[in-house]
Structure 1
């Protein structure tokens, strides 16, 4: 039996027998998509590297949320590093080969599952710290140990859920129906029709259930309880904290709900006879909503880290240290005269409550 192929599951193309007539299902807009992905990559790279540098050199992880935030930054960094390579290979018919196809094709799934589950862990940790304040994981050392074990479990779970994408993604040669030329694409390739039908439903269903609905449910429950607790508390910072919570939830929903709704609708009609023009419109909507979902990885550093006062101070210290180090390289003669200018990276010690809601 001939191989049954499709694009990446969030870009899923269907085979000809599922359409009323053969047609070109390329949504187009390659230039616009490249610009959007480039912006996401640049801001995501800068933001997540700053978060990681802050935790490594300036702000040692003292709470479970700190460990979760560092791992979220790692997950987002994996994807924003993969995104330019994906764009390069797609525009040049995948010169990096089949291994790169599999690894880069799996980068989004790894980021989706690990990142979303870690954001759910952050909301649970804040819930315990604020709503269930009397409960704790014991000493700081125990809390950090638990958080590292939870992060390890999340990463293993994310890798397990990504295995179908890793296994079935491979390079394929096919003919461009518009130009009638051979082109190499990185696609999900199924060798039997039964496998194709199973994976076309299972993979997007897992993405929606575990990558969106489960984290959304956990975040809504935990943050609703937190808001209720803060409203009862007599604190001058409660209104700022509530605004931050609302921003976190609204941005999460705004980024991921359109894509998941479009993916759900597309999956429901996969095995029904469809009009070519309608299918092309669905793929265009998928491409747009997917870009919005990708944007979330560059917004996480702002929402979860640099919105707090302490992180902003660390950020300014990083800029100051980079400026100081830069002057030493640009003007080496000045530093050799008189008293040398010393640049030191200062890490902050002291209390670090979970109240990262305060802006």
Structure 2
């Protein structure tokens, strides 16, 4: 157990600090780019902006997670509950927003005729559905608001030893409704999209989907291990060796789950050509990029990807 305490005392604060720094800068630039260039022109733009806000909120809570590990919790009950609540709100809002993106892409590609009829009100629908996603995320986070507490040993925990039964029930419900059901919906949508594109032999004209596929893949791969380990931790076990391994697994997968909040900006920048160009324009206007470097970054590489500017953008037309 001493080895475990030593491990988490250096591993988690270090990785949380790094993630926080990268995620705050990256997601702030994403939000600033969307707002500055008024890029909220499609449903997916609205969803990706909301996703960046969720990631930024999670990143801002990471210093509190690091503080909870380095020493006993001295910040009071409200910050303790807020820390766990923000993670759950970020997790569930991210899951629901990605589901909305998947449904949007499904209708835009597999049900193009139906989507065209609703095109005029698409942005309005996206704002309403984003608001619903946030409200549902808050609803799913109520257990953290209620049961998070400070133990007698001075540690901030999401469920105390008194609420183990409630913890098991709520984690099962959250896994099924907040993770499993959206994953099934996303799986159906993307299978239908791939089948439609394969039949139309139209993969090359939908390279913009690479951004969405990448975002969904990163979210799933980063969140699934942590949620599976949390599920295992709800089972009673008297094997000390198994419990010790589970402690390590929770910490490592939790660190992986938090990495998600700093990866998406890199996906937009490296895969989305239009977003990358808008970001370069923003940096130039802020004085962070000289004219020569801006021209080289914007146009020097465009020759090798001529004609793909609209295909790999993070903006999508319904």
The interval holding the TM-score normalised by the smaller chain is: 0.7 to 0.9
Could you tell me which runs of 5 or more consecutive residues in structure 2 were left unpaired when the two chains were aligned: 292-309
Q: SS state of the match for residue 323, structure 1?
A: coil
Q: Deviations over 1:298-328 (max 9, x none)?
A: 222334576211101111112212226999x
Q: How does 1:116-127 map to 2 (within 5 A)?
A: 116-127=95-106
Structure 1 288/85 Cα, relative in aligned 2: closer, same or farther at 3 Å? same
1:317 maps to 2:284: no
Q: SS state of the match for residue 136, structure 1?
A: helix
Query: Using the alignment, how far apart are the partners of 2:60 and 2:27 within structure 1?
Result: 11
Contact 1:64–1:143 (CA under 8 A) maintained in structure 2: yes
Q: SS state of the match for residue 134, structure 1?
A: helix
Aligned match of 1:187: 157
Structure 1 89/190 Cα, relative in aligned 2: closer, same or farther at 3 Å? closer
1:222 maps to 2:199: no
Aligned match of 1:115: 94
Structure 1 97/91 Cα, relative in aligned 2: closer, same or farther at 3 Å? same
Aligned match of 1:209: 176
> Whose relative contact order is higher, 1 or 2, with alpha carbons under 8 Å and at least 6 apart?
1
Give 1:257 deviation, angstroms. Answer: 2.5
Q: SS state of the match for residue 17, structure 2?
A: helix
Could you tell me which runs of 5 or more consecutive residues in structure 1 were left unpaired when the two chains were aligned: 1-22, 175-183, 328-351
Contact 1:212–1:256 (CA under 8 A) maintained in structure 2: no
Structure 1 132/110 Cα, relative in aligned 2: closer, same or farther at 3 Å? same
Contact 2:275–2:314 (CA under 8 A) maintained in structure 1: no
Q: SS state of the match for residue 287, structure 2?
A: helix
Q: SS state of the match for residue 152, structure 2?
A: strand
Tell me how many residue pairs correspond in the alignment. Answer: 298
Q: What TM-score does the superposition give when structure 1 sets the normalisation length?
A: 0.73
Aligned match of 2:165: 198
Superposition RMSD in Å: 3.1
Aligned match of 1:276: 240
Query: Using the alignment, how far apart are the partners of 2:37 and 2:315 within structure 1?
Result: 20
Structure 1 36/234 Cα, relative in aligned 2: closer, same or farther at 3 Å? same
1:294 maps to 2:273: no
Structure 1 141/299 Cα, relative in aligned 2: closer, same or farther at 3 Å? same
Larger Rg: 1
Q: Equivalent of 1:151, from 100, 109, 130? A: 130
Query: Using the alignment, how far apart are the partners of 2:164 and 2:70 within structure 1?
Result: 29
Q: Deviations over 1:220-272 (max 9, x none)?
A: 211121122222334472484565565344433321232222222222x23xx
Q: SS state of the match for residue 129, structure 1?
A: helix
Q: SS state of the match for residue 29, structure 1?
A: helix
Q: Equivalent of 1:237, from 196, 204, 227? A: 204
Query: Using the alignment, how far apart are the partners of 1:29 and 1:315 within structure 2?
Result: 37
* Structure with greater helix percent: 2
* Structure with greater strand percent: 1
Aligned match of 1:88: 67
